[in-house]
Amino acid sequence: MYLYKNKVTIKEANDARFFSGGLEAYIKQRPNKRFLGTIRIGLYLYKAGSKNDKWLSRTLRYKLGEAPVILDSALIETSVKGMRTYLRTKGYYYPGITYTVDGEIHKGRVIYKVSLNKAYHISHVYYHIADGHIDSLIRSKRDESFIRNGNQLKQENLLKEQTRLSDLLRNHGYYTFNKDLIKFDMDTAEGNYYASVGININNEENFETYKTYKVNKVTIEIDKQGTDNSEKIKDTFNLRRFVYIPHHFPLNPDVLDRTLFIDTNTLFRQDRSTATFNRLNDLQIFKTVNISAVTYNEKTDSAELNFQIKLTPSKKYDLIFEPQAITTDQANLAGYSTLRNYGLASQVTLSNKNIFHNAEILQLRYRASIEAQRGANIPTRPFFNSFENSLSASLTFPRLIFFERIDRLLYKFTNKSVISASSIYERNVDWIRNVYTVGFSYQFNRKKTKFSYSPLEISYIKTDFNNENLAQQSKNDPYLQSVFNNNLITDMRFGVIFNNQTELKRKDFFYFRCDLEFAGFLLNKAYDVLNVKANDSGYRSFLGVKYFQYVKTYAEVRFNKYIDDNNRIATRFAIGVANPYGNTPDYIPFDKRFFTGGANSIRAFLPRSIGPGSYNHSGQLDRSGDVKLETNIEFRFNLYNHFLEGALFGDVGNIWRIKEDGRDEAAFKFNSFYKQLGVGTGAGLRLNLDFLIFRVDASFPIFDPRKPIGQRYVFKSYSDLGVLWGYTIFNFGVGYPF
């Protein structure tokens, strides 16, 4: 009999959603893979290639096909045992699991019937700890325990408690202690599905108690580079906190002092050792970091440790050249259209590590690109008519400048200060633009969470017309005037990103990002104090240039749900709000506005081709907004060997103006915004190379808010395939859209 389907049914319906996925993971025999949940392409190709022994048939059968899965009763029994073990880890010690096999010979079904029965809960927690000092320490931290009276008896909580207790002891000087020395025993004889848990820690061999270790000495040695290892060491420095052996490597010892959290004459702490390792790695000037400890005086009451930290320098210079084939979506203001541009680019990045001998990293980046911008009224010669050159520089310090004390207090973070500057020159068929930016920021990073704070960033944007028709239009168009005015932006930003995708054991992952930006706030307050008045045009300026004043926030949430090895569901929700006020009450800068549509947004609409709201007018130039809402859902599935993947998706969203500006249905209103959401759907293919993903998505609108009321459900016209093809938009991209 061939295996066609596995099914797990759980008697307790309320608990089914918590355990069905976990139980299915223990099924040892899987049916043939299915495309879109129904079509078994591999099996069909195998059968098609079984007709003869020609080359094509052999390829279909052995290379592309998949042999039918023959039902194996031994694997069914193994699956049942695995399910019992899994449920035991969740506290269900006596589940009832049976199975039945039915169906036709070519469509065998295995149905696993599971009755969870009652789960065991914890009645009491007992400590059996031979060492009195350890017993007192553990009891003093009982409030942090993962094992509590009344909780369900789960193995995952026992493992968490084992790790917690081990970390607790190692952070109080018990260097030789490890979590394998912690044992648990459960007594389920109390009845009524209650169990007592015993936590056992025996003494060391010969009944000796565990010793706490103090740090006696720390030695930091940098490996010799290009010298004879037998050469006599000439540069050994006995500093206040450590012995420094640089072997002539030009690094200020103050840098190592700031990254060293292992203090002499104090008890050993594992978290301090780990923080030291992370900080040294994060300097990015060492290829390897090795921290080891040697114990001595173990037979006395004053056991001690000598730490040896060995560092291998990495290359001082990194030069990276990146040729690129690019595609962008750019609005043609003169032709009232948005088309895709294609072109070439190259980027050169030079990094100088430890440039001033304090582990600073200077990075210089130059990028040049050329594109062919096409559209109505645009000459086809020259072929490339859009150019961009950018030069940027950043200097990264491995500490919080001006906040050294806070830097040491946040030892579990890797902290940086970054000074940056950039210059961009862009020329296309519409404009010539120069952007100059300088800024300063702080970064605080942990394993899953990143914080950033930029107390000041200044951008000066100078834009000139490169199109005479556009210049004439701007005289009566406030939108174009806001784009082409010289702008000054002085802003302060906060940001946070949480991402647990790096945890390899998690198959579901969650991503959250939030940014908050204040522009013109500090400058305006300073002018208030100095009593600086507005000019004759009604606004204040700095160095003769009007500065913007606004507050802007953007938040994005993503959740990827793992179904099985071949299927996943990815979801995304994004919201952004920007409010201009004060010195510039009508608009925020063009570069800071929200746009929608395109390969990573609502794929059924070209970039900057929808919004604000339902406003749509012949010759409309402004497709920007101050409010943005987007949500996406995508079903991703394996097509062939996890090399070729498919996707079905739906996208919803739009942008709006936050204030009325005289345009109908352009401003965001709570009682009508949902009637103005663009809706699209489609399918895509992804070529997964592990290190890189190429994708193409074909999408078409379902609801188009640009249409007149009554004509917005455009899918009604798709019975005509020609209309459907005319509405279909193809998007190309690298990586997943979200």
pLDDT at 544: 82
Say how many domains are in the chain. Answer: 4
Domain ends where: 82, 115, 148?
Answer: 115
Domain presence at residue 346: no
Q: Do 286 and 192 share a structural domain?
A: no
Low-confidence residues of the chain: pLDDT under 70:
35-38, 206, 226-234, 326-341, 374-378, 478-480, 483, 502-506, 619-621
pLDDT at 336: 41
Domain presence at residue 647: yes
**Residue 465, beta-bridge partner list:** 431
The enclosing domain of 136 has a CATH number of 3.10.20.310
What is the full DSSP assignment across 420-468? EEEEEEEE-SSEEEEEEEEEEEEEEE-SSEEEEEEEEEEEEEEEEES-H
Residues 324/325/328/332 CA torsion (nearest 10 deg): 110
Q: What angle do CA 240, 244, 246 make, to 5 degrees?
A: 150
3-state DSSP call for residue 581? coil
- Sheet (strand 243-245) strand order: 237-238, 243-245, 214-222, 304-313, 286-296
Q: Do 284 and 161 share a structural domain?
A: no
**pTM, rounded to two decimals:** 0.78
Q: Do 45 and 108 share a structural domain?
A: yes
Q: Do 735 and 604 share a structural domain?
A: yes
Phi, psi of 37 (to 5 degrees): 80, -5
pLDDT at 603: 92
Domain ends where: 115, 145, 176?
Answer: 115
Q: Do 709 and 605 share a structural domain?
A: yes
Q: Do 302 and 264 share a structural domain?
A: yes
Tabulate helix, strand, coil % of the chain (nearest 5): 20, 40, 40
The enclosing domain of 725 has a CATH number of 2.40.160.50
pLDDT at 335: 41
Domain presence at residue 498: no
Report the distance separating Cα 247 and Cα 251, nearest Å: 10
Q: Do 654 and 639 share a structural domain?
A: yes
**Residue 457, beta-bridge partner list:** 439, 491
Domain ends where: 115, 130, 145?
Answer: 115
DSSP 657: B
Residue closest to 463 by CA, chosen among 281, 588, 589: 589
Task: Kindly give, in sequence order, each residue whose CB lies less than 8 Å from that of residue 80, ignoring residues fewer than 6 positions away.
Answer: 97, 99, 112
What is the SS3 assignment for 8-20? EEECCHHHHHHHH
Q: Do 193 and 62 share a structural domain?
A: no
Q: Do 77 and 108 share a structural domain?
A: yes
Q: Do 155 and 35 share a structural domain?
A: no
3-state DSSP call for residue 169? helix
Amino acid identity, position 195: A
Domain presence at residue 188: yes
Structural domain for 94, as ranges: 3-115
Q: Do 218 and 254 share a structural domain?
A: yes
Domain presence at residue 367: no
Domain presence at residue 737: yes
Report the distance separating Cα 329 and Cα 597, nearest Å: 10
pLDDT at 189: 84
Domain presence at residue 477: no
Domain presence at residue 349: no
Q: Do 717 and 608 share a structural domain?
A: yes
